[in-house]
Amino acid sequence: MITTIATTPISGQKPGTSGLRKKTAVFCQPGYLENFVQSIWNGIGGVQGKVLVLGGDGRFFNDRAVQIILRMAAAAGAARVIVGQGGLLSTPAASHLIRLHKADGGIILSASHNPGGADGDFGIKYNTANGGPAPEPVTKAIYRATQSLTSYQIWQSGDLDISVPGRQHLGPMAVDVIDPVADYAALMEQIFDFAAIRALFASGFQISFDAMHAITGPYAREILVHRLGAPESTLRNAIPLPDFGGGHPDPNPVWARDLVDSLMGPDAPDFGAASDGDGDRNMILGRGVYVTPSDSLAVIAANAHLVPGYAQGLAGVARSMPSSAALDAVAQVRGLPCYATPTGWKFFGNLLDAGRATLCGEESAGTGSDHIREKDGLWAVLMWLNILARRGQSVAQIMATHWQEFGRHYYSRHDYEEVEAQAAESLLADLRARLEGLPGQRFGALTVQLAEDFAYADPVDGSVTAGQGLQISFAEGARLVLRLSGTGTAGATLRVYLERYAPGPDGLHHDPQAALGPVIAACEKMTGLSARLGRAKPDIVT
Ligand code: G16
C-alpha cells in the first residue's frame, strides 16, 4: 500500500562533484533521505515501469537506506530493482550491472573515500542508463526538484530480507537480490589475460592489496585469490566494516600509510595497491616506489596494447584538467586525441559514449575505461598486473623507462582542509580578478605564460561548464591549479595542484616536493595563501 507523506523542501540538497554527501547524522534525520530520493524520481521524470540497480559500499546507514529506497521505488511504480546481496555493490560493479541489465539507472549509496560510521559521512548518487554518474543537467533537475518538494511516497511494509540471492516482490515491484561480485569478476576475466597474471603469481611475484575495510575486500578475494591464485595473505583489511574500522578509506600515501611503509621496507612485496570506500579509486605502488595517479594513467595508456581488452588500440584518452600532462605526453607520441575535462567522472561520460576516448583518469586516484562508466579501482590494479606480467619488469623499471621515453611530470596536490569557506572563496575570487594581468609576470623563478578560469566545452553535446578551477601555466614548463573541492562535508577544502615537467634524460629522479619547490614558492607569492588561510602548511600532501 502506498502512503503519501507531506514534506517541505530541505535546503542544501545540492549534488556536488559526485552526488549528495553529508554527515551521516544529517542523512539519518527523519525524511532527509526520503526527500532526496523523491527528488531524484521527480527530477528524472519518475521511475514508473523502470528497472533500477541499487547498492552501496556498506557504510553505516547503508542497510537502512536500501530498505527505504526499495519501498520508495515500489511506491513510485518501478518495475524491478536489482539489488546487491546485503545491499552491497561497489561503484564500478553497479555501473556494470546497469549496463549489463540495460537498466534505466541506478542508485549508489556511498560517500566514496570519506570516512564512514555514525560520526562520518554518507552519500547517495544517481547513475543514468549508460552506467555513469548523472550529468550536470540531470543533477540540476534533481536539485531543482528538492526545492519545490511537497510530499514523498513510500510503500508501507516491513523490511525485505536481502541477505540471500533470489527474486521476491514488494507490492507489484520485483526485487532481484544478486551476488555483488560475480558479474563484475566475469567482466574482468573478459578484459584481462588472467592466465598471464596467474603465471606471474605462480612465479613467486608477491602482491599486497589493501581494501581499507571497505567494499573491495570481497571483490579482491574472488578475483586475486580465487581466480588468480594469489595467497590469502595478499589481502589486508579485507572485511568490509560500517565504519571502515575507524579508518579513512582513501587510497593515498597518507591514509594507506601502513601499506606504503611495507612497500618501502626491506621485505617489500613486488607490488602494492589499495582501493577506497566504494571501490572506484586506486593507489599503485611497486617495491620502493609510489606511482602518482597521473603517472599511473600515463603508463596504462602507453601499455594498454599489452592487455587483451585494448589490443585493438585506443580511440583517445582523457584526463581531468588538474591531472598532470603525463597522459598528454603519451597521447602526443602515439598520435591519440587527448581531452581535458573538469574534475568529476561525469564529464567523461559523453566522450566514452561517443567512442572518442577509451581510457580516462584523474589525479584524485581514479582511472578507468569504456568497459563501464565509472572509475574502477580493481580494474586499474589488474591493468598494472597484466602489464607487469607481459613486460617482465618491476614497477620501478617500468617507471624509469617511461620517464626516459616521455619525460617526467613531477606532481603533487596540497589540500587545505576545512578552512573557512569565505577565506578560501575570497582568495580564489581575488586571484580570478587578477588572471588577465598575470601573463608575463614573474613569481620567483617562474614566469606566467597563461592564466585562465577553466571552462569546458563538451565536444559531444556542446554544453559549456565554466568556473572549474584557476589554471596558471608557467613558461618554464610548470603549472599551478587552484580549486575548491566539491566532495567535502565540512567547511571548504582548497586544493592546490602543482606540476613541473622534466624532459630528461637528466633530472628524472628527484624528490617530487623538492622538484616542485619553485611552483610551491610561486603559488605562495602569487596568492599569499598561508597568511590568508591561516595555515602554515597543507593538511594533506599527496
Ligand atoms: C569524486 C569524483 C571525482 C573527483 C573527486 C574529487 O571522486 O568522482 O571525479 O575527482 O571526487 O573531487 P573534489 O576535488 O571536488 O573533491 P569519488 O571517488 O569521491 O567519487
pLDDT (tens digit per residue) in 274-317: 999 999 999 999 999 999 999 999 999 999 999 999 999 999 99
C-alpha span between 411 and 344 (Å, rounded): 19
- What Cα–Cα distance (Å) separates residue 204 from each residue in 228, 268, 346, 430, 495? 13, 13, 39, 56, 40
**pLDDT the model gives residue 162:** 98
**What confidence score (pLDDT) does residue 96 get?**
98
Tell me whether residue 476 is exposed, middle or buried, using C-beta atoms within 10 angstroms of its C-beta: 0 to 12, 13 to 18, 19 or more. middle
Per-residue confidence at 134, pLDDT binned at 50, 70, 90? very high
- Which atom of ligand 1 is the closest one to the Cα of 493? 16
- Determine the Cα–Cα distance for residues 491 and 27; give it in Å rounded to an integer: 18
Average pLDDT over residues 35-51: 98
Percent of the chain with pLDDT over 90: 96
* pLDDT, tens only, 161-183: 999 999 999 999 999 999 999 99
Ligand 1 centroid to 255 CA: how many Å?
16
Identify the CATH number of the domain defined by range 2-180. Answer: 3.40.120.10
**254 or 110, greater pLDDT:** 110
Nearest residue by C-alpha to atom 13 in ligand 1: 485
Atom 14 in ligand 1: which residue has the minimum CA distance?
485
Domain ranges of the chain: 2-180, 184-406, 408-541
Distance 321 CA to ligand 1 centre (A): 13
Average pLDDT for 215-232:
98
pLDDT surpasses 90 at 489: no
Which residues in 93-214 belong to E strands, given as ranges?
105-109, 121-128, 151-155, 166-170, 173-178, 207-210
The atom number, within ligand 1, closest to the CA of 111 reads 19
The binding-site residues of ligand 1, defined as CB within 6 angstroms of any ligand atom, are 17-18, 112-113, 280-281, 320, 343-345, 362, 364, 366, 485-487, 495
Q: How many angstroms separate the CA atoms of 178 and 162, rounded?
A: 9
Whether 486 shows a pLDDT value over 90: the answer reads: no
For residue 278, give the ligand 1 atom closest to its CA.
Answer: 18
Higher pLDDT among residues 266 and 327, named by residue: 327
The span from the CA of 26 to the CA of 11, in Å, is 12
Beta bridge partners of 540: 415
Q: Which atom of ligand 1 is nearest to the CA of 133?
A: 8
Q: How far is it, in rounded angstroms, from Cα 306 to Cα 298?
A: 14
pLDDT exceeds cutoff 90 at 18: no
Position 245 confidence tier, pLDDT thresholds 50, 70, 90 = very high
Model pLDDT, residue 491: 82
Bridge-partner residues for 124, per DSSP?
20, 109
The pLDDT value given to residue 205: 97
Q: Give me ligand 1 centre to Cα 43, in Å.
A: 23
List CB contacts of 72: < 8 A, sequence separation 6 or more. Answer: 34, 37, 38, 41, 152, 153, 154, 155
Q: What's the rounded Cα separation, in Å, for the pair 133 and 468?
A: 18
- Judge contact between 402 and 299, C-beta under 8 A: yes
Q: Which atom of ligand 1 is nearest to the CA of 114?
A: 19
Stated pTM of the model: 0.95
Q: How many angstroms is it from 102 CA to the middle of ligand 1?
A: 26
Evaluate whether 184-406 and 408-541 have a shared fold.
no
Residue 504 confidence class, pLDDT cut points 50, 70, 90? confident
* CATH no. of 184-406: 3.40.120.10
Residue 519, pLDDT > 90, answer: yes
Confidence at residue 354, expressed as pLDDT on a 0 to 100 scale? 97
Q: Band the pLDDT of 487: cuts 50, 70, 90.
A: confident
What pLDDT band is residue 494 in, cutting at 50, 70 and 90? very high
How many other C-beta atoms are found inside a 10 Å radius of the C-beta of residue 180?
25
Res. 488: pLDDT tops 90: no
| Mean pLDDT of the chain, nearest integer | 96
Which protein residue has the closest C-alpha to ligand 1 atom 7?
A: 18
Do 60 and 175 touch, CB atoms closer than 8 A?
Answer: no
Question: What confidence score (pLDDT) does residue 17 get?
Answer: 81
Are 338 and 325 spatial neighbours (Cβ–Cβ below 8 Å)? no
pLDDT at residue 95 in the model: 98
Q: Does pLDDT of 467 surpass 90?
A: yes
Active site residue 426: no
Q: How far is the CA of 2 from the centre of ligand 1 (A)?
A: 36
> Could you give phi then psi for residue 217, rounded to 5 degrees?
-50, -60
pLDDT confidence of residue 272: 98
Q: Is it the case that residue 356 has pLDDT exceeding 90?
A: yes
Nearest-CA residue for ligand 1 atom 3 is 344
The per-residue b/e assignment along 122-132, b for 16 or more CB within 10 angstroms, e otherwise, is bbbbbbbebbb
Residue 82 in this model has a pLDDT that exceeds 90: yes
Q: Is the pLDDT of residue 147 over 90?
A: yes
Superfamily (CATH H level) for 408-541: Alpha-D-phosphohexomutase, C-terminal domain (3.30.310.50)
Mutate to test the pocket of ligand 1, among 255, 283, 343 (most ligand atoms within 8 A of CB): 343
Q: What is residue 293's predicted lDDT score, i.e. its pLDDT?
A: 97
The distance from CA 166 to its chain's CA centroid, rounded to whole angstroms, is: 31
The one catalytic residue among 112, 208, 324, 364 = 112
User: How far is the centre of ligand 1, averaged over its atoms, from the C-alpha of 18 (Å)?
Assistant: 6
